[in-house]
Amino acid sequence: MKFALVSIVIPVFNEEKYIRKTIQEVAVAKTCGLRKEIIIIDDGSRDKTIEMINSQVEILSKKKNSITLKIIRRKDNEGKGAALKLGFEKTNGDIVIVQDSDLEYDPDDYELLLAPFLKNQADVVYGSRFVTDRPHRVLYFWHYLANNFLTTLSNVFTNLNLTDMETGYKVFRGELIRKLGSKLKSKRFGFEPEITAKIAKIKPLKIYEVGISYQGRTYEEGKKIGWIDGVKAIWEIVIYNLLID
């Protein structure tokens, strides 16, 4: 299959400090020669996020490039999963990348994430923070243990051998994620175990992992996911693998 367009879906909520730089870096990131479609879903931000987005849209619209920009605004905050579901529906790309809005994940890694599609006809690629020699900010030990536990638990149910189920860098064939996206139930961070359970049930799919860099944030810097989300993820792994298709 020949790929021409990559869609980059960016859910954002109250990220006035980071979203401008995120858009700038996504816009210039290399994508193996593929054209870019950037879809930003503002999930009910109450700070100056939308102003920052609009300023960058205006700047990019004046430049001669092949980037297509789509901005979607939600009145109320519903969560990452709900924002991604809406964003996936609006994509046209042959490949779709999920990009968090806070630059914990580096757009310079796009070509690493795209390579398995171009070389190996991958269907899904996960960017792993734990099998890489790329820069990795040292942060919370308990988050590391929680990620390992949740990934292992997910693997028990899916029979996949992932090293980082909770990664924010997930990449899909466009037609696959548009089909699966319409069926998503989780509105928050349950997106990660839910989409993993869904792809594991489709046989056969070519699923790859590649090592990525990671610039994690502290809670003082605006990190949103917490221990309650980790506890919920245990239940979500169970229900999305055993009870909900």
Residue-wise pLDDT tens digits, 1-50: 789 999 999 999 999 999 999 999 999 999 999 999 999 999 999 999 99
Span 5-139+164-182+203-223: which CATH code?
Answer: 3.90.550.10
**H-only helix segments in the chain:** 19-28, 49-61, 80-89, 110-120, 141-158, 174-181, 191-200, 227-242
pLDDT band for position 226 (cuts 50, 70, 90): low
- Check whether 245 has a pLDDT greater than 80: no
- CA–CA separation, 19 and 1 (whole Å): 33
Amino acid at 119: K
Question: pTM score > 0.75 for this model?
Answer: yes
Q: Is the dihedral of CA 96, 101, 103, 105 positive or negative?
A: negative
Is 162 in contact with 154 (CB distance < 8 Å)? yes
